[in-house]
Structure 1
Amino acid sequence: MTSKRPLPDGIKDASALPLAVLNAIQNPVIMVNETGHVVFANWEAESFFGASANYLARHEIRAFIPFGSPILTLIDQVRERLAPVSEYRVDLSSPRLGADKLVDLYVAPVPGAAGCVVVVFQERSMADKIDRQLTHRGAARSVTGLASMLAHEIKNPLSGIRGAAQLLETSVNDEDRALTRLICDETDRIVSLVDRMEVFSDERPVDRVPLNIHSVLDHVKAIAKAGFARHIKITENYDPSLPPVFANRDQLVQVFLNLVKNAAEAIGDKPDGEIMLTTAYRSGIRLSVAGTREKVSLPLEFCVHDNGPGVPSDLLPHLFDPFITTKTNGSGLGLALVAKIIGGHGGIVECDSQGHRTTFRVLMPASKGLTAPEDGPIPTKGTS
C-alpha cells in the first residue's frame, strides 16, 4: 500500500503545492502554450508585466514584449528541439516594461504538454548588484594592501625630508625660505593622504548596536545644513515602520556624510539644487556575508538622491574603485571607503545616474530580534 507524503502546514490540498512553490520564487515565471498565449504566470511575473494572470492569459506573449524580441525565437527553438536553452542580457526595454530592462532567460519545454514552454526571467539589475558588490570588496582589499605598504615605506622618508627642510629654513634667505616652506607643506599633504589610506588597513572589529537609521540621517542633515549644504534644500521621505539596522553609528554617519557631501558638491551653485534622503523596506535581495557561508537578506534601503549633473556613464562602473574621482582636487578615496564600510556590514552600495538624477543606494540587513536603544521610536516623517 502506497503511503501519502505529509503536506506542509497550511497546504490542505496536494494540488496547491506546486502553485505555492512557483509563487514563492522571486523570479518571474510564465508558461506559454502552443498558440503563444500565457496560460500561467506566478506572482512575480504579474508584477514584472504589470498585469494579472487572467489578463495575461487572454493575450499572446508577443503583446507584452518589444517587437522582434528574441524571446519568440527562443520559444520556437525549444519547441523544435525539445531541449532547454538559456540566453543572457536580453533587452526587454519598452514603454510597458520600463527602461533599462535587461534580463537573463531560461526557456524549457513542459513534459507531457505538447507545444508548451516555461520561461524564467532573471532581472540583471539584481545580478549586477551582486557583481558590483564583489568588485567593490575586491577594490577595498587592494587598497588595504596598498595602504599598509605606503604607511611603512613612505611616511618614514617623508619625515626625514620635512626635518631637513625645516633645518634649511633657518639658514636661507627669504626668497629660498618660500621654497623650504613649500617642501614642508607638500610633505604634510602627502602624509595626510597616506593617513587617510591607512583607514583601509584597519581590520579591527567595530562595536555594533541596533540603530535607528533616521536618527543617523537627521544627524547628517544637521551637519550638512550647518556647513557645506547650507544653500541646498534637503528633504526626507522616511518609512516609519523600518526595523533597526545592526551597525556602528559613527561609521554610518561617516558613510552618509560622505554621500551627502558628494551630492552637495555635484549640485554646486545650482539655484534649484535639492538633496533627498529616503528609506524603504525592499524584500528579495540576498547576499553572502564575507567570511561566512550564510546568506542574509538585505531589505533595508537607504538612498541619497540629488538633481546635480549626474555621473558620466563611462565612470559609473568604476565609481567605487580607489583613486577614481570627478573632482579636480579629489583623492578618489571617499567612495572606496564607503564601499569598504558597507561591505564590512554585509551590505551593498550602488549608484544609479540618469540625466539630472543621481541616486546612491545602500542596502543593509535588518537587526534581528533587537530594538533600537537610546534613539526611541522611529519618527513618522513624510516628505518635508
Structure 2
Amino acid sequence: MMDDAALWVSLPMPAVLLDENDLFTDLNPAAEGFLNISSRAVMGTPVWDKLAVDAPIEVNLRRARAQGSPLFVNDVDVGCGNRPPLQCNLSFAPVSGREGVMILMIYPRELAHRMTQSVSVKSAAMSAIGMAEMLAHEIKNPLAGITGAAQLLSMSLNAEDLVLTDLIVEESRRVVKLLEQVEEFGNLSPPIQMAVNIHDVLDRARRSALLGFGAEMKIIEDYDPSLPQVLGDPDQLLQVVLNLLKNASEAAGAGGGTIRLRSFYEHSFSLRRSDGTGHALPLQIEIIDDGPGLPQDIKGDVFDPFVSGRENGTGLGLALVSKILSDHRGWISVDSVPGHTVFRLSLPMAK
C-alpha cells in the first residue's frame, strides 16, 4: 500500500496543510508550482500573505475548524505572486488526528475547462480545416484566372477604370494569401525533435522581431540561465514565438509597448489525459505584453481555428501555435486582462 508521503507527492492538485493559526505547515509539489515558491520558504508564514482569495472566507474557515467539518468555496478568483487570478474551487477539510490542522485543496478551473473544451472541438476543428484545405486548392485556380483577366483588361482601360481592375487584383491576391495559410496549417510536418536551447530560439525570435514587425517594441529578457534543454523542433518553436511576438506587437499599435520573455522551471507541472497517461512539462516560457488584452467575447476560444480579434485576421495564427505545441506534447495557456497578457508555453525536457 502507498504510504502517506507518496500519496501527498502524487496529488495532482495543489494541496496545503494549515495549522490552527492558518500558517503553512506543508505544501505538496503541485502547490509549490501553483504558488511558484518552495515549501521551505513559506513554512510557518500566514497562508493569506501568499494566497489572495476574492471572498471573505476566514470566518467560515474558523467555524469549520471549530466544528471539525469541511468547507467548500466555489468559483472564486485566487491570485498569488505576479500571476493573474485564476478562477478556482477550494476545499478545506480537517486532518484526522491533528487538532486544528486543515488541508486546503485548490482546483483551478481554467485548465480543466480548456482540456475538456479542446477534446470537444478538436474533431470539428480538424474537419473544418480539412474541408477548407480542399476548397483552397479548388479556389486558387479560378482566382489565378480572374487575376490574369483583370491584368489584361487594365491594359486597355483609362486611369479612372484602372482603379476597379487594381481592386480585383489586390483582393484576389489577398484571398490567395489566406488560402495559402489554410494549406500551411493542414500541411504542417511532424516536429523533428532534438535537444534545443530554448534561449537560443527566444533570442533569434527577439532579434528578428526588433528588425521587422516589432521595431517599435521594447523586448525584455528574463531568463533562468540554469534551464535544461527542451525536447522539440527548433524551427517550429521559433515559428511559435515569432507568431506570439507579432500578435503582441500588432496589438500594441503604432505607439509600441513592452514585451517580456520569461523562462523558468516548474517541476510540478504535468499534463494528464483522461486515459490516465501523462508526462511532465517542467519548462515554462512566458510571452508577456502590456497591450489592450484579448477581446472578452473570444478569450476562451482564441486557440480554435478561424477565431480572430482583428478585423482582417484569419484566425489561424494561434490555432497553428496550439497545433505545434500539441505536436510537441506540450501545452499553451493564456491569461489576459487589459494591460497584462501572458501566453505560457509548457514544454517537455530533453533526456
TM beyond 0.5: yes
Backbone CA RMSD of aligned residues: 4.2
Which consecutive unaligned segments of at least 5 residues does structure 1 have?
9-16, 369-384
- Give 1:257's aligned residue: 242
For 1:200 and 1:220, locate their aligned partners in 2 and report how far apart those are by CA, in whole Å: 20
For 1:177 and 1:363, locate their aligned partners in 2 and report how far apart those are by CA, in whole Å: 52
For 1:195 and 1:351, locate their aligned partners in 2 and report how far apart those are by CA, in whole Å: 27
- Aligned residues with identical type, % of pairs: 37
Instruction: Describe the SS at the equivalent of 2:296.
Output: coil
Which residue of the other structure, out of 67, 79, 92, is the alignment partner of 2:56? 67
The question of 1:280 aligning with 2:284 is answered no
Deviations 1:234-261, CA, capped at 9 Å, x for gaps = 1101111122112222211111111111
CA shift, 1:308, in A, is: 1.8
User: Aligned runs of 1:1-384 on 2, under 5 Å?
Assistant: 17-29=3-15, 42-44=26-28, 66-68=55-57, 89-91=74-76, 93=78, 100-105=85-90, 120-128=105-113, 130-131=115-116, 134=119, 137=122, 141-170=126-155, 172-202=157-187, 204-270=189-255, 273-287=257-271, 294-368=277-351
**Are the aligned partners of 1:242 and 1:300 in contact in 2 as well (CA < 8 Å)?**
yes
CA shift, 1:196, in A, is: 0.8
Distance 1:356 1:21, change over 3 A: same
Instruction: Describe the SS at the equivalent of 2:271.
Output: strand
Distance 1:235 1:138, change over 3 A: farther
Q: Which moved more, 1:333-342 or 1:94-103?
A: 94-103
Which consecutive unaligned segments of at least 5 residues does structure 2 have?
none
For 2:315 and 2:189, locate their aligned partners in 1 and report how far apart those are by CA, in whole Å: 23
**Are the aligned partners of 1:277 and 1:302 in contact in 2 as well (CA < 8 Å)?**
yes
**Are the aligned partners of 1:319 and 1:325 in contact in 2 as well (CA < 8 Å)?**
yes
**Are the aligned partners of 2:194 and 2:231 in contact in 1 as well (CA < 8 Å)?**
yes
For 1:94 and 1:173, locate their aligned partners in 2 and report how far apart those are by CA, in whole Å: 65
Distance 1:225 1:102, change over 3 A: closer
Q: Which moved more, 1:131-140 or 1:307-316?
A: 131-140
Q: Which moved more, 1:221-230 or 1:45-54?
A: 45-54
Return the letter of the residue paired with 2:267.
S
**Are the aligned partners of 1:289 and 1:346 in contact in 2 as well (CA < 8 Å)?**
no
Q: Which moved more, 1:185-194 or 1:316-325?
A: 316-325
Q: Pick the structure with more strand per residue.
A: 2
Return the letter of the residue paired with 2:344.
R
Instruction: Describe the SS at the equivalent of 2:85.
Output: coil
TM-score calculated relative to the size of structure 1: 0.71
Kindly indicate whether structure 1 or structure 2 has the higher relative contact order, using CA contacts under 8 Å at least 6 residues apart.
1
Instruction: Describe the SS at the equivalent of 1:314.
Output: helix
Deviations 1:17-52, CA, capped at 9 Å, x for gaps = 32443244343446799xx87799642398579996
